[in-house]
């Protein structure tokens, strides 16, 4: 495995872990009536590579599952990311 691939994997893990904790923190803040994490922040972390974990944690904790922006938007972001990665590997950009 090349250094570039290792760095990519570490990056995805870091963004995914952060996305997971953002969903948990936002859910707990919602329950406790505290200040929430902005929806734009959640979407940005999804777009940065945390979309799979964001979607799984949303469903696991029943958070943002009534908002179409998240129910449809995050899987769409994930699909686009998969296409980009597949094309990058196909054309030797990865």
**pLDDT score at 94:** 57
Q: Which helix (H) or strand (E) covers residue 69, if one does?
A: helix 68-71
**pLDDT score at 4:** 87
Report the b/e string of 9-27 with b at 16+ CB within 10 A: eeebeebbebbbebbeebb
pTM of the entire predicted model: 0.89
User: Tens of pLDDT along 50-74?
Assistant: 999 999 999 999 999 999 999 999 9
Answer for the pair 39, 66: CB distance below 8 angstroms, yes or no: no
- The pair of structure tokens assigned to 21 is 């904790």
> Is the pLDDT confidence value at 24 over 70?
yes
């Amino acid at each position: 495995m090349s250094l570039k691939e290792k760095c990519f994997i570490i990056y995805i893990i870091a963004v995914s872990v952060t996305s997971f904790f953002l969903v948990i923190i936002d859910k707990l803040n919602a329950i406790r009536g505290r200040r929430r994490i902005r929806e734009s922040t959640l979407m940005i972390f999804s777009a940065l590579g945390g979309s799979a974990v964001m979607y799984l944690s949303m469903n696991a904790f029943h958070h943002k599952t009534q908002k179409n922006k998240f129910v449809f938007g995050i899987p769409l972001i994930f699909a686009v990311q998969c296409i980009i990665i597949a094309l990058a590997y196909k054309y030797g950009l990865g």
